[in-house]
Amino acid sequence: MDVGELRVALWSRIEHVLLDMDGTLMDKYFDDYFWGHLVPERYAEKHAMTFGRAKELLFSKYKSLEGTLNWTDIDFWSEELHLDIPALKEQIRHLIEAHPHVEDFLIALKKGGKKVILATNAHYKTIAIKMKKTELGRYFDRVIASSDMGYPKEDSRFWINAEKTLGFDRDRTLFIDDTHEVVESAINYGIRYVLVKNMASSRGNSPQGSPNSNQKSNKYLSIDSFSELLP
């Protein structure tokens, strides 16, 4: 299947569209800057160490928790790092932006009668900050977070619980994400239509070791822009 064939299926037979948030709908530059620069900067100040040392320590912590519920739990990180993570996010909320054509795509989905679901590993406080800034929340029929499902999206048990919660037909469902491990999990679970959103960040690759990298998919069916899916 190519993107053109998937686009035809989207507007003719797909019923549920599950969409990741960070890197897929939202430009991941915000997250890369936040976790790769602002948090290490504040951590260095708090602990009287160099920025380089703080970054080294934090990236090691990030890596050790990747693929777990704690990884995106900003309450956990506030306690772990003794920093007010939600307040720091608010400080740079002006950097939060949706990718081009995201709103056009969401409008088209609603007009097409699709069930539109935000399916994210993000914490609800992060979701609230980003929906308030972009005003995209009105287009979703439902939001499911990994904390609701009890497992991150990389885990097949997320999909078991998501299917029970949403009642989707795997054969008539599209899932779009920017992370290959998550995409592979959805494919292994049996979601028929799965896409990678390339160009997660508008500013290129994030620093080596960052938990949020900008991936270009050669392995999975992918799009660079949501304009490729518009009817």
Asked whether 119 and 18 are in contact (CB, 8 A), the reply is: yes
Residue 41 CA to its chain's centroid (Å)? 24
Beta-bridge partners for 115 = 16
What residues have CB less than 8 Å from 214, skipping those under 6 apart? Answer: 23, 28, 32, 199, 200, 201, 204, 205, 206
Domain boundaries, the chain: 3-27+97-229, 31-94
pLDDT exceeds 90 at position 119? yes
CA separation for the pair 77, 35 (Å, rounded): 11
- Whether 210 shows a pLDDT value over 50: the answer reads no
Is pTM, for the whole model, over 0.75? yes
pLDDT per position as a tens digit, 35-46: 999 999 999 999
d(Cα 2, Cα 79) in Å, to the nearest integer?
A: 45
At residue 129, does pLDDT exceed 70? Answer: yes
What average pLDDT does range 14-28 have in this prediction?
98
Tell me the C-alpha distance between 35 and 89, whole Å. Answer: 10
- CATH pick for 3-27+97-229 out of 1.10.760.10, 3.30.1330.30, 1.50.10.10, 3.40.50.1000: 3.40.50.1000
The answer on pLDDT for 217 being more than 80 is no
Tally the residues of the chain. Answer: 231
